[in-house]
Amino acid sequence: MRAAPPADPVTCLAEGVDRLFEPLEIRGRRLRNRIVMPPMVANRGIVTPAGVAWYKAHAAGGVGLVIVEATSVDGFRYLFSVEDLSRLAKAIHAGGALAAIQLFPGVREQQVRPADLDRARLEGLIEGCASAAERCAEAGFDGIEVHGAHGFLLNQFFSLAANGRTDAYGGTLAGRMLLAVRISSAVRAALPDDGLLLYRHTPVGEGYSLEESLELGAALADAGVDVLDLSPSSFRVPGDGAAPFRSLGVPVIAVNELDRVERAVEVLREGRADLVAIGRGLIADPRWPVRTRAGKDARRCLHCDSCHGDLNAGRPVHCVLWRS
């Protein structure tokens, strides 16, 4: 009797897991699946040999989109040439993933507040974001993500608690949204027609409500944002932080312990998000997507936070599981 042919790995997956591996097309660019490597500072330098190897390995591990870590807009003035950035983009593409890079307005190490920036510096910041986006697009990146989350500068501008300005960039909701919208519009104009524009936002924070965030999301979509990256969600309901934004008609990314396959599947099955971001789980096991698609167990993040300790100490981020 002839042996039966080997089963397709996808058909052997647990019920619903194949949803993770459905492609998604945005602006004519095709993501091979719904799995995103979110921007995570790795302390390797993004264009050093170690940094390029880090991102190449994660792309080869099977994600659909790699978002390179928060990168200071100021750094594009003197650190990152088109040639350097091109090596990084090509390394990610070689692994089969689309390549985006997160622009961080200002310098991460400096505590800049909304009140610290006069109108000339604001205009310079907007122009700097557009210039950085143009350079990344020239280098071959598929997309740009603007960092507006987690209490950093653009998130502060949006917060009534952090933004005490009395000019056009403060006070009313429209004023508190203005810098985010202007930066997004400027980046959109700097990108080619098929360039992806993402924006990362924290749905609820001190000084603003979910309802106000939804108005921001609508304004960002009108400004040309293609994908809203919502961080965080709760542990109790996977993707609940992203779910309300699906009403805006643009794809959304959900986060929070989605390396647990059943949680990632639930997000997509219940329609709470279009894409799932896996952070520390991909540090623990860069081949999480490949292993999951093959029906194999990936190394599970222990939540020991050693990677976060490395981050804060300025050491290259590692995982204790790499030694096992």
Distance (Å, rounded) from C-alpha 92 to C-alpha 233? Answer: 27
Q: What is the pLDDT of residue 75?
A: 87
Distances (CA, A) of 248 to 220, 223, 232, 275: 10, 13, 18, 15
Q: What is the pLDDT along the chain (324 residues), one digit of tens a residue?
A: 344 344 343 333 456 899 999 999 999 999 999 999 999 999 999 999 999 999 999 999 999 999 999 999 988 888 899 999 999 999 999 999 999 999 999 755 567 899 999 999 999 999 999 999 999 999 999 999 999 999 999 999 999 999 999 999 999 999 999 999 999 999 999 999 999 999 999 999 999 999 999 999 999 999 999 999 999 998 899 999 999 999 999 999 999 999 999 999 999 999 999 999 999 999 999 999 999 999 998 888 888 889 988 888 999 999 998 875
Residue 234 is encoded by which pair of tokens? Answer: 């709760």
Q: What is the pLDDT of residue 16?
A: 87
DSSP characters over 105-144: SS-TTS---GGG--HHHHHHHHHHHHHHHHHHHHHT-SEE
pTM of the model: 0.93
Burial of 83 (0-12, 13-18, 19+ CB in 10 A): exposed
Q: What is the pLDDT of residue 9?
A: 38
Q: What is the pLDDT of residue 5?
A: 40
- Residue bearing tokens 């005490």: 164
Distance (Å, rounded) from C-alpha 97 to C-alpha 99? Answer: 6
| Alpha-carbon dihedral angle through residues 109, 98, 220, 235, given to the nearest 10 degrees | -70
Residue 210 is encoded by which pair of tokens? Answer: 């979910």
Distance (Å, rounded) from C-alpha 104 to C-alpha 85? Answer: 16
Q: What is the pLDDT of residue 97?
A: 98
**Do the beta carbons of residue 238 and residue 272 sit within 8 Å?**
yes
Q: What is the pLDDT of residue 14?
A: 56
Q: What is the pLDDT of residue 78?
A: 85
Strand 196-201 vs strand 252-254: parallel, antiparallel, or unpaired? Answer: unpaired
Q: Does domain 9-299 have CATH number 3.40.640.10?
A: no
Q: What is the pLDDT of residue 15?
A: 65
Residue 298 is encoded by which pair of tokens? Answer: 């990936």
Q: What is the pLDDT of residue 112?
A: 86
Strand partners for 208: 205
Residue 132 is encoded by which pair of tokens? Answer: 């950085």
What are the extents of the domains in the chain?
9-299
Q: What is the pLDDT of residue 131?
A: 97
DSSP characters over 235-304: SSSTTTTTGGGGGGSS-EEE-SSTTSHHHHHHHHHTTS-SEEE-SHHHHH-TTHHHHHHTTPPPPPP---
